[in-house]
Amino acid sequence: MAYQSLRLEYLQIPPVSRAYTTACVLTTAAVQLELITPFQLYFNPELIFKHFQIWRLITNFLFFGPVGFNFLFNMIFLYRYCRMLEEGSFRGRTADFVFMFLFGGFLMTLFGLFVSLVFLGQAFTIMLVYVWSRRNPYVRMNFFGLLNFQAPFLPWVLMGFSLLLGNSIIVDLLGIAVGHIYFFLEDVFPNQPGGIRILKTPSILKAIFDTPDEDPNYNPLPEERPGGFDWGEGQRLGG
């Protein structure tokens, strides 16, 4: 019975969020079981372009380090904000969501050539958080019961938290930069006088991922219901 409930809950996760989160968990599990090593996964331009180890373009987004606080923290944020985006502003637009993944991954890979980062999954998570936060500017957040702020400040709060933990903030800055580029090109520039929509989802992605019918039994997450989610009373990020 418990298995059936877990299975149903798992299948209710929207497809892109389910596929990406599952791939990250399975990749980490494979490393923990020593089936593969991080050296087979990390971003290395020379191995990619000279030795044709093309899989590294994808696997460097799937590994978040060994199982521990940092891994769980990243998985919670990845699952939560990836799902909220897919069920919120990208609801019924799976192809557009996949295109955002491809666009963000391409830019991060391009920037990764210059900032010497070997794993880009955390930066990708920050990108998702940034886009969600800019599209939900009036949602109130509570971080560990210490800070109350509006959603657009969330990426910067996370960067400050990384700094307190002694981590490099280059990863956070990369995620914020790529998230801002996407948000500007998709949400801001087309609505400016004389602005045009530069980012256009290829027809092949729409043919593969978009379905014409909407699920009549859709039950949105609390964050997407009218009135939003009551972040200010008892809900703590990371807690």
Q: What is the DSSP letter of 85?
A: H
Q: How many residues does the chain have?
A: 239
**218: confidence class by pLDDT, cuts 50, 70, 90:** low
Residue 136 sits at the vertex; the CA angle it makes with 131 and 139, to the nearest 5 degrees, is: 130
Encoded tokens for 11: 């299948």
- Can you tell me the distance from the alpha carbon of 52 to that of 80, in angstroms, rounded to the nearest whole number? 34
Neighbouring-strand partners of residue 143: 147, 237
**196: confidence class by pLDDT, cuts 50, 70, 90:** confident
- Chain segment 225-238, per-residue pLDDT in tens: 444 444 444 444 54
pLDDT at 200 over 80: yes
Distances (CA, A) of 197 to 21, 186, 188, 191: 30, 7, 9, 9
Q: Structural domain boundaries of the chain?
A: 67-209
Residue 233 is predicted with a pLDDT of: 42
How far does CA 105 lie from the centroid of its chain? 10
- Chain segment 145-169, per-residue pLDDT in tens: 777 889 999 999 989 888 887 778 8
Lowest mean pLDDT among 4-18, 24-38, 155-169, 211-225: 211-225
Note whether 126 and 155 are within 8 A (CB). yes
- Chain segment 38-69, per-residue pLDDT in tens: 999 999 999 999 999 999 999 999 999 888 88
Residue 195 is predicted with a pLDDT of: 81
Comparing 21 with 73, the larger pLDDT belongs to: 21
- Can you tell me the distance from the alpha carbon of 119 to that of 144, in angstroms, rounded to the nearest whole number? 27
Mean pLDDT on 88-105: 94
- The pTM of the full predicted model, rounded to 2 decimals, is 0.84
Instruction: State whether residue 59 is helix, strand or coil.
Output: helix
Spell out the residues 6+ positions from residue 171 whose beta carbon is closer than 8 angstroms to its own. 117, 120, 122, 123, 126, 162
Note whether 182 and 49 are within 8 A (CB). no
Spell out the residues 6+ positions from residue 44 whose beta carbon is closer than 8 angstroms to its own. 53, 56, 118
Which of the given ranges, 101-105, 117-121, 138-142, 205-209, has the highest pLDDT on average? 101-105
Note whether 221 and 87 are within 8 A (CB). yes
